[in-house]
Structure 1
Amino acid sequence: MNRNRKILLFFLVNLLLYTTKCNADTTPFSQPAATSGILDLRKTDLDRSSIPLRGEWKFFWNSLQNPARTTGYFEYSIFPKLWSNTLWKNKSIPSQGFATYELKILLPKSNEQLALKLPEVYCSYNLFVNSKLVAKNGRPGTTKETTVPYWSDQVKPILISNDTLNIVLQISNFHHLKGGASKEIKIGLLTNLQADSDVDRAIDYFLTGCIFMGGFFFLGLYLFGRHDKSILYFSLFCLFYSYRILGSRQYTLQSMFPDLSWTFTIHCEYLSLFMAVAMFTLYTRYLYPEDAPQRALSVMTGVCLAFALITVITPPILFTRLIDPFIFIVIAYIAFAVIIYWKAVKNKRVGANYALVSTFAIFIIIICVILEYYGIATPFDIVMFLGYLIFFFCQSLILTFKFAYTLKKAKEAAELGLKVKSEFLSTMSHEIRTPLNSVIGMTHLMMKDVPRPDQKEHLDVLLFSANNLLTIVNDVLDFSTIEEGKISFNPGPMDVTSIARNIISGYKAAANNVAVNFILDLDNNLPSQVSGDSTRTSQIISNLVHNAIKFTSAGHVKLSVKEVSRNEEEITLKILVEDTGIGIPLDKQKMVFERFTQADSSSSRNFSGTGLGLAISKRILELQGIELYLESEPGKGSVFYFTQTFPILKEKIIAVQPQTERKFPLENVKILIVEDNPMNVLVLKNFLKRWGAVSEVAQNGKEALEILDSSKHQIILMDMHMPVMDGYEATKQLRSKGETIPVIALTASVALNVDEKIYGIGINDIVVKPFVPEELLNMILKYVR
C-alpha cells in the first residue's frame, strides 16, 4: 500500500510540473523582459511565438497620465503585479486607486500584422499605443463614481508606423478587493494570437456545453426517474459549475455580451463557485451515505451556503475577500472527498473507483487554478481541458453505473415481487378452493338425495354462491397468468355450436329474472368441428354473456354466431353478444376493458363483480391477434363482438355402440385416496361409494407409499399439498420404484407452470378442486376401463 501511495504522489508531482508554465523571471530559459521601461525585441522572432510584456514598466501612482506625453514623478515597477504587492515611495499602496503604466518596445523588422492579447486585470483600463486608444475595459476614473468596471479578454491589432511602440496603460480599481495588473499582456502575430484565443474560447464553449447539457440530463433523470438525491445534486453542481468556465476563466461570456453588468457577472462568478462546491458536498454525502460522515458534510455544506449568502447581500469589495480563505476550504473538502471515496473503494461500492479517479482529476485542476490565481504558474489549456473531461466523465460513469445498479435491484425486486405474488395467489387459491371443494361437493351430494322443493331452492342458492366465488378466484388467477405472459393456448377439436348452446342453457337455468329473454342465434350450416381452444373460447363467450346478464334487468340477452366467410379449409365466424341493459357512455367505453374497473366505479354502484371478465376476454383475444369491439348507447344496451377464423376439421363417422347406463359405473374399482383434509375425504368417499367404488384413505404421501398395494389398488387420487410428504415427492418415489399405477392429481392450486411441474413427475392427469362430479368420474373411467 505504501509503495502504491509513493507512486501516486510521484505521478501527481510530475504531472503538476509538466502541466504548468513557470512564471518566475529567474528561469534560465525566460523570454526577454523589460528593463527601465524599455523592452528590446529587436532580436526576437515574433513570427514563431508571442512574447509577454513583463519586466520593469514606468509606474505613475494616483495619476492617469496623458497618453501623448507622460510627465511627473514615476518609479519602475514589475509588471504584471498586484498593487497590494507594489511599493510606491517605499510604502505599500492600497488595492483601490488609479495608476498609469508606460512601456517602450523596440520591435524587430517584420511585415506581418502584430497584435496585443489583453487579459482582464481586476480593473477598468484604457490602453494606448503611440497615443492612440487601442483597447478598453469599462471606464477608468479617479473616483468610485467615475469608474465603470468591466472584465473581458481581448485580442487587438496594432498599427506600426516605425520600429518603436509606446504603450500607455491607464488603470482604475474601486470595486474589487484586488487591484493592478494580475496577468501578462502578450505581443505577437495577429493570426497566432487570434488562433490561440479562438482555441481557448472553443474549449470553453465545448466544456460549458457538455457540462450544462449533462446537468440538464441528470436533472431530467432525477425528475422523471428514481428520485435519487445524488443525481439531483450532481446535476445542480454541473449547472452551477458550467457558469464558472464560461463566465470566469477567460471571461468568454463577457466578450460575447459586452453589455452585461460587471456587478451582476461578478456576483454570478463567486456565487457559482460557492454553490458548486456546496452541491458537490451534498452529492458526495448522498452518493455513498454509508461511508460519508453525514454531520461533517452537513457542516461543510452550511459553510458554502453561508459564503453564498454573503455574496448575495454584500457588494463586490466585501465578498471578493472570501476567495482566499475559500480556496483552502476547497482543498480541505477535496482531501475529505478522497478519504470518503477511498473508504467506498475498500467497501466495494458501485463506481467508487471512478469517484476516486475523478477526485484526483479535480484536485489537479484546483491546484493548477490556485497556481495561476496567485501568479506562480500558468497551466496549459489542454491539461485543464483533459482534467475537466476526466472529472465529469468519471462522475457521469458513477451515476450511470449507480442508476443501472438501481434498475437491476428494482428488476430483481420486481421479479421477487412477481414470484411472491404468484406464490401468494397459489396459496390463496389452494386455501379458498379447498373449503369450496367441500361446500360444492356436499351441495352436489345433497342435491342427488332428492331434496324437498324448499331445500332444493336453498341448495341452488348455496351452489350458485359457491360457484360465483370460484369464478372470482379463477378470474384473478387468469388475469395474473395473462399479465405474466404465461398463458397458453391448446387447440383441438371444438364444437362452437355446442359451446354456445351450453352457455346460454347454463345461464338461463341459473338466472332468477324472468323479465330477461335469452336468445341463441346460430347459423344453420356451422361445421360440427373446428380447431380451436375450447376452454378459452368458452371463457370469452361466457364472460361476455355473464356481463350482459349482470347489466340487463329487462329485455333480452342474445348470443349469435354467424358465418362471415368460408372456404374448404377455414371458416371466419362473428361471435356477438347483445343486451338491452343500461348501456355504456362513449367516454367510459375504453374504461370497461381495464382490470378491476366498471363504468360506474363509485362506492354506491349497483352492480357487483371484480371487473375482470371483459379485461380477461380482451387480453385473451389480443394474444391471438383478435380485437374485441364494443358498440353501446346509454339506456338502450350494448353489443360486444369479435371475428375469429378457425380451421375446419373433417368430420369422422364413428359407429355408436348402444350402451346401457350403469347404476354403479365404478363397481368394485379399488381406489387409494391420498388427502389430509377430512372434509374433502368425506366428499370423495361419498361420491366414490355412490359410483360403486371401494376406497382407502392415506393422510399423506408417506402413508400412501406404505399402504399402496398395486395388486389391489387400481388408481390413486393424489392431493399435492400435504404435511409430512406432499404429493410431488410421493409421486417421484412411486415412479422411482417402477410403479405404473395411474395417478390423478386432485389439487386446489392453479399456479403458473403447475401443470408442467405435475406432469413432469409422472402424474397421469389433473382434476382441479373444486371438481365437477361428472368430470372426476369420466377421468377415473378413462384409466380403469
Structure 2
Amino acid sequence: MSETSHPLPQVVSRRRYERALIAREEAERLLEAKSRELYEANQGLLKSKSWLEKAVQERTVELEAARIAAESANAAKSVFLASMSHEIRTPLNGILGMALALSENGLTDEQNAIVDVIRDSGSLLLSVINDILDLSKIEAGKLECEHIPCGLGQLLGSIEKQYQLGAQEKGLEFRVSIFEGAGIWVKTDATRLRQVIGNLLSNAIKFTDKGSVAMFADIVPLDAGWSKLTITVTDTGPGIPKDQHSRLFKPFSQANSGITRNFGGTGLGLVISRRICQEMGGTLTLKSDAGQGAEFVASIMVEPCDSEEMIGEDLEHSEAVLTGAQWRILAAEDNRTNRLVLHHMLKRFGMQLEMSENGEQLISRWRAEPWDLILMDVNMPVMDGLRATQIIRDHEHEEGLEPIPIIAVSANAMSHQVNGYLAHGITDHVAKPLRRAELVRAMATALTSRSVD
C-alpha cells in the first residue's frame, strides 16, 4: 500500500485538536466570566456586610440608649414610689397607732364608734398603699412568697370571723364550708393566702346588696408530698358580663368606670391576687355573667406538715415571750408621735423601753448598759439607723460579742429597701404603720432566737 493511502488519521487528529482548543478557549471564557461574577458578588457581600455591621452597631447604640433610659425611668419610678410610701406611712403610723391607744382607754360607745371610723379609714388607705407596692413588685418580677408552716383551719376560721360581721351588717347570708380535716398544718405563705381570700370576700360583700356570700375550701393530695388548696367564693350580686372579664385582671382597670366612683378601690386587688396564686403554683379564675352573681376560684399549692414545725409564730406564744421576762428594749425614733405609738403598743408587756431621738443618742445609751433588743428607725437626723447598726456590728465583731437583735421599724417598706437593711446587719424589719401583732411576733422571734443561741 502506498504512503498516500493514509491521510485520514492526520485530518482527524487536527480537527480533534482544533475542537479541543476551541473548547478550552470557551471554558476559559466561561471561567473568567464566572470568576468576574463571583468577584462582583463577593464585593457586594462585603459591602452588605459592612452596611449590616454599621446598622447593627447603630441599632446596638440605640438599644443601649433605650435600655439606659428605661432603667433610669424605672429607677425614678422606684424612688418616687419609695418616697411616697415613706411619706404616707409615717403619718399613717401615728393615726392608726393613736387610734389603737384611744380604743384601749375606756371610751364611751360613741367615742369608740368615732375611733372605729378613724381606724377603718386608715386601714383602707394602708390597703391602697400596699396594693401599689405589690404592683411595683409584680412589675419588677420581685413578688416573693414565703413557705412556712401555718394552721390552715385556724387561718380559715379567723378569715371567716373577720368578714362575717360585714356581711351581717348588709343583711347578707354568709356561709362557710371547709373541707373535712381542715385542722391540718401546711407550709405556705399565710399572709399572701389571707390577702387573696380577703380580696375575694371583700369584693363579694361590697358588690352584693341582697342574697348571700359563700366561701368553700377544699384540699386534694397530689404527688411528691404536695396538695392543691382550692378556695371558692360565690355571691348573688349583679354579676359580671363575660366581655368584661379580662378587664378585671388588668392593673387599674375595673369592669366599668362607675365602680370606682360608687365603691372606691384601685382596681389592683384581683390583678395582685391572680399573680399571688400563680406564684404559689395555682391560678385565679372567674365564672360569671350579667345578673347571675359571680364565682371566683383561687387555687394554690401547699405542703402538708406537722404542727410541731411551727415555732414562735402564734400570737399568744409571742405575747407570752414578751411578758415572760423583764426585757430591756432600746429604741431609736426621731418622730415624737411614733415614739408615743411604740410606748402605747408595748406598755402592756411590762418591759423597760428606752427611747432615743437619733442613732447617735442610741449608740451612747447602748454603750452605757446592756440591752436585749433594739428597735431602729432608719431615716433619722444626726445619725441614721444603718450607720448606727454598722457601728454596733463592728464593735461586736471586734470584741467577739453575741450580736444584739436589731429590728428595723421603718416606713420604708419596698423589697429592695428591706433587703438592703438585712444586708447591713439588721435582724428583721417591721413596716410602718405598725401593727402590734406583727411587731410582737418579730420581737418574740428575735428574743427567742437569741436566748436559744
Q: What is the TM-score with the length of structure 2 in the denominator? A: 0.82
How far does the alpha carbon of each residue in 1:533-554 deviate from its partner, in whole angstroms, 9 at most, with x for none?
2122112111221222222222
When residues 670 and 194 of structure 1 are mapped into structure 2, their CA distance, relative to the original with a 3 A threshold, is closer
Distance between the aligned counterparts of 1:450 and 1:483, measured in 2?
Answer: 46
Residues 224-261 of structure 1 show CA distances to partners (whole Å, capped at 9, x for unaligned) of xxxxxxxxxxxxxxxxxxxxxxxxxxxxxxxxxxxxxx
Alpha-carbon separation, structure 2, partners of 1:653 and 1:600: 46
| Contact 2:170-2:209 within 8 A present in 1 as well | no
Which of 521, 546, 550 pairs up with 2:202? 546
CA drift of 1:443 comes to: 0.4
CA distances 1:189-222 after superposition (whole Å, capped 9, x unpaired): 69958995xx69xxxxxxxxxxxxxxxxxxxxxx
Question: What residue is the counterpart of 2:11 in the other structure?
Answer: none
Instruction: State the SS of the aligned residue for 1:671.
Output: strand
Using CA pairs below 8 Å that are at least 6 residues apart, which structure has the higher relative contact order?
Answer: 2
| Other-structure match for 2:313 | none
Q: Please report how far the alpha carbon of residue 517 of structure 1 lies from its aligned counterpart in structure 2 after TM superposition.
A: 2.6
Residue of structure 2 in register with 1:496 after alignment: 152
CA drift of 1:718 comes to 0.5
Which residue in 1 is equivalent to 2:417? 754
Instruction: State the 1:650 CA deviation.
Output: 3.0
Whole-angstrom CA distance in 1 between matches of 2:221 and 2:388: 53
One-letter amino acid of the counterpart of residue 342, structure 2 = L
Q: Report 1:256-405 matches (<5 A).
A: 384-405=40-61
Alignment match, 1:608: 264
Cα deviation digits, residues 490-532 of structure 1 (max 9, x gap): 2111222222222232233456842223221112322421121
Taking a change above 3 Å as real, the CA distance of residues 569 and 672 of structure 1, as seen in their structure-2 partners, is: same
| Inter-partner Cα distance in structure 2 for 1:567 and 1:381 | 67
Q: Secondary structure at the match of 1:578?
A: strand
CA contact (8 A) 1:710 1:741 kept: no
Change (3 A) 1:441 1:431: same
Rounded to whole Å, the distance in 2 between the matches of 1:635 and 1:773 is 42
Q: Does 1:595 align with 2:258?
A: no
Partner-residue secondary structure (3-state), 1:606: helix
Give the structure 2 partner of residue 51 of structure 1. none
Q: 1:671 to 1:511 in 2, by over 3 A?
A: farther
2:436 alignment partner, one of 749, 773, 782? 773
Instruction: Name the CA shift for 1:694/1:610 in 2 (closer, same or farther; >3 Å).
Output: same
Contact 2:154 2:183 in 1 (8 A): no
The equivalent residue for 1:446 is 102
What SS does structure 2 have at the residue aligned with 1:741? coil
Code of the aligned partner of 1:481: K
The equivalent residue for 2:5 is none
Q: 1:477 aligns with which of 125, 129, 133?
A: 133
What RMSD, in angstroms, separates the aligned Cα atoms of the two structures?
3.4
Distance 1:778 1:394, change over 3 A: closer
User: 1-side partners of 2:301 and 2:43: how far apart?
Assistant: 66
Q: State whether residues 698 and 704 of structure 1, in contact with CA within 8 Å, keep that contact through their aligned partners in structure 2.
A: yes
Among 364, 378, 382, the residue aligned to 1:720:
378
Aligned to 1:703: 361
Question: How many Å separate the matches in 1 of 2:349 and 2:266?
Answer: 38
User: Does the residue aligned with 2:283 lie in a helix, a strand or coil?
Assistant: coil
Which of 278, 285, 302 is 1:622 aligned to?
A: 278
Output the CA distance in 2 between the equivalents of 1:393 and 1:473: 54
TM (norm. structure 1) is: 0.49
Aligned partner letter, 1:772: R
The 8 Å contact of residues 409 and 429 in structure 2, kept in 1 or not, is answered as: yes
> How many angstroms does 1:570 deviate by?
4.4
1:414 corresponding residue in structure 2: 70
| SS of the residue 1:708 aligns to | helix
Cα separation, 1, equivalents of 2:32 and 2:227: 79
Deviation at 1:759, TM superposition (A): 2.5
Matches within 5 A, 1:452-463: 452-463=108-119
Q: CA deviation at 1:615?
A: 0.6
One-letter identity of the residue aligned with 2:374: I
- Residue 741 of structure 1 corresponds to 404
| Cα pair 2:168 2:174 within 8 Å, conserved | no
Structure 1 residues 728 and 553, CA gap change in structure 2 (3 angstroms): same
Q: CA deviation at 1:712?
A: 4.6
Pick the structure with more helix per residue. Answer: 2
Q: Distance in 1 between matches of 2:137 and 2:163?
A: 26
Local SS of the residue matching 1:486: coil
Report whether the alignment pairs 1:763 with 2:426.
yes
The one-letter code of the counterpart of 1:687 is M
Gaps of 5+ in 1: 1-107, 114-187, 201-379
Task: Percent identity, please.
Answer: 33
**Hey, what's the Cα distance between the residues in 2 that align with 1:753 and 1:111?**
84
Preserved CA contact (<8 Å) 1:561 1:574: yes
Where structure 2 has 5 or more consecutive residues not aligned to the other structure, the ranges are: 1-17, 311-315, 449-453
Are the equivalent residues in 1 in contact too, given 2:231–2:299 (CA < 8 A)?
yes
- State the shift of 1:783 in Å: 4.8
The answer to whether the 8 A contact 1:578-1:640 is kept is yes
Distance 1:509 1:527, change over 3 A: closer
Shift in Å at residue 691 of structure 1?
Answer: 3.7
Structure 1 residues 636 and 694, CA gap change in structure 2 (3 angstroms): same
Are the structure 2 counterparts of residues 474 and 189 from structure 1 closer, same or farther at C-alpha, using a change threshold of 3 Å? same
Please report how far the alpha carbon of residue 606 of structure 1 lies from its aligned counterpart in structure 2 after TM superposition: 2.7
Does 1:679 pair with 2:342? Answer: no
Structure 1 CA distance, aligned partners of 2:260 and 2:129? 23
Give the distance between the partners of 1:669 and 1:525, measured in 2 at CA. 40
Count of equivalent residues = 418
| Mapping 1:107-126, distance limit 5 Å | none
